Amino acid sequence: MSKVAFPFLTLSDSLVECDGFLIGEPGHPMNKAEEFLQAWDYSRKLGASVTIGFDYDSACKALGFEPGDAALKLIFKMGTGKGAMPRRWETLTDRVVSASEDLPVTLTADLQSHTLSGSIRLRVEIVLASRPKVVSELSPKHPGSRLWAKEHVILIEDGGDSRFPVELVSFSESFNGEVESGALWYLQWISEDVDVDFSGAVRVYVNSDQEKFSERFVEGDDLTIHVLMFDVISQMIEAVIATERFDDLLPECEEGSVGKQVLYWLENAFPGRSLTEVRRLRTDNPARFRAAILASAQPGVFA
Amino acid sequence: MKNVALLPRLSDQGVAMFKNSLRNKEIPEASFYAPYIWYASSGGSPSPTKSNEIADTIREFAMAAGFPESRGAKYAEFDQNVAVYLATNECFSSGEALRNDVWAYLAVVKLPDVVKWRFPSDASNRYLGGVKNAFQRLWIRGVAVDLGEEAPDRWKLLRALTEDASGQVLERTSIASDIRLARNIALVWLQVADKLGRGRMENVTRRAVKELRLLNEVVDLSSLPDDELLKRIIALFINASN
């Protein structure tokens, strides 16, 4: 259970059946919680569950209680925050059991994604709910005594830092009366610097007013994302190669910068070609130039 | 669905650059950090304006408390005002508030002069994210001791807790991570301090908190109802005062 030397009897892992934690979207079938949760951000709907079973009478015996004399509380908790110790703990739900018929128990809870950070630590524990009438010398006596626990840590994306910077907004509100208001998407980027952090400098806004398109985008439709990424990559490559002032700067750009990302896209679309060659292709054969980018702009092309 | 205000973050590289500059006794301009500032890619709206407003408000509290002069500076007043402001600021009701890089951005990029005024010793942990960060610690403090809008004296714990007690209780992640536990310790601390006098509380708090952390290893204090939890904490403080 842990490295703590408990001053009272506890339940061994062999007495408690628990296959681990499930996580997923509430209302949908959940998956076994792994070490890493893909595609998380603050807006994602999440739920978790865990099932515990044990022979109640055997548990009472192991704790030095008379069978039927003890009430045990099953607690499902969640911690969050980076580091060895969560910055915040929250009790999601609990259940008191006092007979074998109460078991097994499945504890389920919604997780508030907007309050999460860095990692999710799911914990289920069994504690003493109330002091039994008859106890042995080594029995736990105080309510809350920790008897058994299981934990699982899930790393969540670092606030979405390995995802493409994107936001769903109503263009009729955000760009009211502007030329962008009817667009399907809009790439916001000022192409003055290439050595700035990509996630801070670039953002794609998807128009939530365009319901069909935005629904497909949210669902992760491959073709929709392919077309959108083609446009984004084209815009950024063209802006960067439009001027020679970035040529020396690009190779110096660090991981995570705009320049590094554009270099990755260039290498993907035009493998082995120099910036000068790509620039010439764009001028001499723009259709081929664009087709090369279109072919390379598969979903997942964000490095 | 809640729209999260995505706040600017200072990357590890930016923090490393800052540490170098601190060693050289040079505080760079905010623009120096531009390549090291980033936001979450999705899940909310980038909110640099809100971050600027937060920094401006903290600066105003500092000026009201004597900044940039250190002589006669009212640090306790500054701490209380900032703690209330941060604890009630909607921007910090999301997971952004648990991120060290968000607090490092505020301290290193926006308010290094205010940090230097509040903590003249140049200790880097006052700038970097963590429970010692000049502002993050005040957010933790404000959230933990907030008795709620309905309370007749919502911030009485914030005013009452000494700097030592705040450090002992609220700058320990094992305690501060459970807001209800931290708040109940603060409530008991106030009761005991009224009886014993604040002069004796430093040693009493240190002993009580040490015992409480050991007890929490074997008894899940967060599973106890309020009355039972208070009883256990009171017993620890009484024991520590004998």
User: Would you place residue A200 in the very low, low, confident or very high pLDDT band (cuts 50, 70, 90)?
Assistant: low
pLDDT of residue A3: 57
B145 with B169, same domain: the answer is no
- Structural domains of chain B, count: 2
Size of interface A-B (CB pairs under 8 A): 147
Contacts of A111 in chain B (CB under 8 A): none
pLDDT of residue A160: 45
What is the 3-class SS of A123-166, one letter each residue? EEEEEECCCCCCCCCCCCCCCCEEEEEEEEEEEECCCCCCCCCE
- Judged by average pLDDT, the poorest of A222-226, A269-273, A298-302 is A298-302
B146 with B169, same domain: the answer is no
**Does A89 lie at the interface with B, CB-CB under 8 angstroms?**
yes
Burial class of A2 by CB neighbour count within 10 A (0 to 12, 13 to 18, 19+): exposed
B127 with B16, same domain: the answer is yes
How do the pLDDT tens digits run along chain B, 242 residues long? 568 999 999 987 788 788 778 877 788 888 889 888 988 888 899 999 999 999 999 999 999 999 999 999 999 999 999 999 999 999 999 999 999 899 999 999 999 999 999 999 878 889 988 888 999 999 999 999 999 999 999 999 999 999 999 988 988 888 999 999 999 999 999 999 999 999 899 999 999 999 999 999 999 999 999 999 999 999 999 999 98
Using an 8 Å Cβ cutoff, are A189 and A202 in contact?
yes
**What distance in Å separates the CA atoms of residue B204 and residue B208, rounded to the nearest whole number?**
6
Q: Which residue in the set A75, A85, A164 is minimally distant from B177, CB to CB?
A: A85
The parent domain of residue B225 ranges over 161-242
User: Would you place residue A302 in the very low, low, confident or very high pLDDT band (cuts 50, 70, 90)?
Assistant: low
At which of B150, B181, B210 does a domain end? Answer: B150
pLDDT in tens, A235-253: 999 999 998 888 888 887 8
B16 with B133, same domain: the answer is yes
In a domain, B156, yes or no: no
At which of B128, B150, B172 does a domain end? Answer: B150
| Residues of chain A above pLDDT 90, percent | 58
pLDDT of residue A173: 84
- Pick the more confident residue, A68 or B44: B44
Contacts of A88 in chain B (CB under 8 A): 98, 177, 179
pLDDT in tens, A84-113: 678 899 999 999 999 888 899 999 999 999
B120 with B180, same domain: the answer is no
In a domain, B20, yes or no: yes
User: What domains can be seen in chain A, in order of their start residue?
Assistant: 13-156 (2.60.40), 166-296 (no CATH)
B16 with B102, same domain: the answer is yes
With an 8 Å Cβ cutoff, are B35 and A254 in contact?
yes
pLDDT in tens, A184-199: 999 988 777 787 767 6
